[in-house]
Structure 1
Amino acid sequence: MKKGLWQPPRLRIDEEHEGRRATWLELFYDLVFVVAIAELSHNLSKDVSLGGFVGFVALFLPIWWCWIGATFYATLFDTDDLGDRLLTLLQMSIIIALTVNLHHGLSASSQGFAIAYIAARCILILQYLIAGHYVSEARALTSWYVKGFSIGTAFWLVSLFVPIPWRFGCWALGLIVEFITPIGTGDLAVKIPPNMSHVPERMGLFTIIVLGESVAAVVRGVAGKQWDTSSILTAILGVSIAFSFWWLYFDSVDVSPLETMKAGRMKVFLTWLYSHLILAIGLAAIGVGVEHLISNSGVNVLPGNERWLFCGAVALCLMILALINFTTCVLDKIQQGRILSAYRLGAGSFVLFLAIAGSNLSAVVLITLVACACMVTVALDLFTKNQFSLPT
């Protein structure tokens, strides 16, 4: 079908778009978030402490939420026309400005960070207003999003006029309002669900972005240290952990959470969705942890804060993967899903035990134990899925 330069938004949930894939523009859009995650990881690498991790999470939340907002609008309404492309490119420019302000986002650049976030949300609100004007059957849903996102953005606007730390309190209130906005959509979202193939693919692509940061961290760690047996072994094991998480996540991806949403079980879907935020935070933190383990690969005892960052992030990811796996099995394969989730919980508990009791472990021994726990989990997954696939 021939397209004009401008087309009004349309719903993209019919059968024609059931097999829709990510567009080239969406993939280009993701590139700015690759840079943002790298900058966030750099900040955490400079301050591997509880305060540094809290700051890392505080800045990660609005970055991820901007990506989610654009992703879910695109899966429902984008037309890939001139107007849509220009607004997307404008959003990319705003996210670049957001990334520029990340370095001192909780201090000197906090006001610039807030302004960029407000601009990004205003673009999304404008897109939903336009979509609601042209797509009458979606107007109730778009109006709900506009109200919720506008209230949340208003808190960020107020933050520009209050000093630190009250500014961050306004940010938190704004994000809370925006995060709970989808919960109130109820039957509106059930009647107009996101595309069944597009959303899992987009969530997987963001997971690839943060996994890529783990690989980049290995490269940075090895490049900044003279090669020896311990550093090379640590780097190899770090890559194996990234590969294990890739396997555990993508070997269980399906459309079950969206099926639950269509069945009216909105809370299950939102649990699946928001679990990806925690997973992304954990995977990015693992990359920083591996980089520090490579730097300290020749040290007999790893510093406690670095041990906790690495083991805590790995344990968090394993436990969140257990939750994500369980949400993909609530409609079918319930027994298999519970078994696979139990494997992840068990591995996560073991790694958490290492964080608590591994104060005398060297970096090489610690990462060896963690990598083995991850690889054993993968092996158990393969064995269990093979058992369930055998004819009875």
Structure 2
Amino acid sequence: MALENHPMWRLPRHHLDTEDAHDHVHWVELFYDLIHVVIIFLLGNYLSDHLSFSGFLVFAGLFIAVWFAWADSSVFNSLYVSTDIKHRMIMCSQIVTAMVMAASIPHVHDKGWMFFAIAFAINRLIIAYLYHRTNRLGVEESKLATHVSRNFLVLSVLFAASAFLSAPYSYLLFGLGIFSIQMLYMMPKVGVLENQRFLPRLGHMSERFALLLLIVSGEGFFKLVITLSEKGIYKASPSVIVNFIFGGIAIFVLCWIYFDFVGNGKPKDNKKWTLVSWWLAHLVLMMSAVMIGVALAGEVKVGFLEPYPLKYGAIGCTGLAIYLLSLLWIQFNIEKRVAHRFATVKIRVFGVVLALVTLPILPHVPAIIGNLLWGTALISQIALPVTKAYFTLSEEEQAKTS
């Protein structure tokens, strides 16, 4: 077999230029996702330790930055089928930058910021090089690779500069860079999305989104298990154990409603704003999933009769409302599936309203009542559609056979 036909020596190829491109995620991409397990866990810890409005803003900013670092790499790997040795080594270096970002998060307020910003800048520089490499190898004959490579090169300098400024100027410059990344994608006429070659493998990206959602949701399990293990499961009262189990079930249901109604769903068309909505809705969805995971750690801090910790309840109720709205947002932008007949706007709105109504009630009722209200908001999102689907489809089947 010629070397160029072997995956370890085959040059990167745009998926539109090859007939054997598939949507499955390569193991190198999965390994890159693996480091984000640690990052999401540390981001959740940060939010747990800074349950205030300012703490949430820092958490949200860090999450958005890390999510884009993951997403931009995923987009490149979706555009260009890259499996050769050099690409694997480049991805290895990108994983190292993600490791440094993760280790910087607990101290990002002070000396950790410089490490986070520099690692993020190098991560962007690596993306610039990946696109430059496709251009240099003659893989991409259009201006796509040149355009994107130049954008990320300039932005990497911007992010690096933010590492050496004092707050708040460092954060403002960094935030400007994050905003600029999206504008360089979306701007009319000059944005990268205007290039017809900028069309990732949508099935591949939907699979990446689904895998990351599992990672993000898994952070909630980490929080629950570690919080109880540190407390000592042998010290926990029966009510705390029940709350602990409820938290695990809630995380499972979060994944259930995602995969039944939008998981692995491709955008309904290739229009720019459909793709942008699909993209941004997943960002918001995953950030809200982390919020819920952090909030559920409060389950092992109280029994049935004490009020649920308000700060945990605030991010849990708000997070659930945002999660359900994001699901609806994604649902509007993907191909229709049978489940959409039963996951109606009214059901989603019911869950959102009940989650928000629960928030002001939490300080005044026992935790068991708060859990009942919040749990109803969540579990209704699968129980109502499934029940409705069962009776509707059964009636339709009877009508066909009669």
CA distance in 2, matches of 1:4, 1:15: 14
* 1:361, distance to aligned residue in structure 2 (A): 2.4
1:91 corresponding residue in structure 2: 94
Alignment of 1:113-152 (within 5 A): 113-135=116-138, 137=140, 139-152=142-155
Kindly indicate whether residue 215 of structure 2 is the aligned counterpart of residue 209 of structure 1: yes
Alignment of 1:313-332 (within 5 A): 313-329=319-335, 332=336
Q: Structure 1 counterpart of 2:274, which letter?
A: V
Taking only aligned residues, the RMSD between alpha carbons, in angstroms, comes to 2.4
* Secondary structure class of the residue paired with 2:11: coil
Distance 1:365 1:99, change over 3 A: same
What's the CA shift for 1:138? 5.4
Letter in 2 for 1:235: F
Out of 252, 267, 280, the position equivalent to 1:258 is 267
Shift of 1:55: 1.4
Distance 1:191 1:278 in 2: 27
Q: Percent identity?
A: 24
Q: 1:282-361 alignment to 2 at 5 Å?
A: 282-297=288-303, 300-329=306-335, 332=336, 336=340, 340-361=344-365
Deviation at 1:279, TM superposition (A): 1.2
Residue 225 (structure 2) pairs with residue 219 (structure 1)? yes
Q: Within 1, Cα distance between the matches of 2:21 and 2:347?
A: 33
Q: Structure 2: where are the runs of 5+ without partners?
A: none
Deviations 1:282-301 (A, max 9, x none): 11111111112321235622
How far apart are residue 205 of structure 1 and its match? 0.3
CA distance in 1 between counterparts of 2:255 and 2:17 reads 31
Counterpart CA distance in 2 for 1:235 and 1:254 is 26
- Taking structure 2 as the reference length, the TM-score comes to 0.88
**Structure 1 15/297 Cα, relative in aligned 2: closer, same or farther at 3 Å?**
farther
Question: What is the CA-CA distance between 1:334 and the residue it aligns to?
Answer: 10
1:355-374 matched pairs, under 5 angstroms: 355-374=359-378
Q: Which runs of 4+ in 1 moved over 6 A?
A: none
Separation of aligned partners in 1, 2:370 and 2:278 = 30
1:260 match: secondary structure: coil
Q: 1:383 and 1:298 mapped to 2: Cα distance?
A: 29
Aligned match of 1:58: 61
State how 1:31-180 maps to structure 2 within 5 Å: 31-135=34-138, 137=140, 139-180=142-183
- Cα 1:372/1:11, change in 2 over 3 Å: same
Query: After superposition, what is the alpha-carbon deviation per residue over 1:200-251, rounded to whole angstroms, capped at 9, x for unaligned?
Result: 1110000000111111122123223322222112112111211111111111
Report matched runs for 1:374-385 at 5 Å.
374-385=378-389
Cα distance, 1:157 vs structure 2? 2.5
C-alpha deviations, 1:97-118, integer Å up to 9, x for none? 1111111113221111110000
Distance in 2 separating the partners of 1:310 and 1:277: 17
CA distance 1:324–1:342, shift in 2 (3 Å):
farther
- Supply the distance in 1 between the matched residues of 2:224 and 2:200 (Cα, whole angstroms): 36
Separation in 1 of the partners of 2:126 and 2:372? 47
Look up the match of 1:239: 248
TM-score (norm 1): 0.90
Instruction: Tell me the SS of whatever aligns to 1:37.
Output: helix
Aligned equivalent of 2:239: 230
Q: CA deviation at 1:351?
A: 0.3
Does residue 280 (structure 1) correspond to residue 286 (structure 2)? The answer is yes
Aligned residues: 386
Measure how far apart 1:341 and its partner are.
3.5
Per the alignment, do residues 144 and 381 of structure 1 end up closer, same or farther by CA in structure 2, a change over 3 Å counting?
Answer: farther
Letter in 2 for 1:323: W
Report the secondary structure of 1:296's partner residue: coil
Task: Output the CA distance in 2 between the equivalents of 1:301 and 1:144.
Answer: 55
- Assess, with a 3 A threshold, how the Cα gap between structure 1 residues 239 and 16 changes in structure 2: closer, same or farther: farther
CA distance in 1, matches of 2:185, 2:12: 21
Change (3 A) 1:235 1:127: same
Q: C-alpha displacement at 1:77, in angstroms?
A: 1.4
1:198 to 179, 204, 212: 204
Q: Is the 8 A contact 2:9 2:84 kept in 1?
A: yes
Q: Which residue of 2 aligns with 1:185?
A: 192
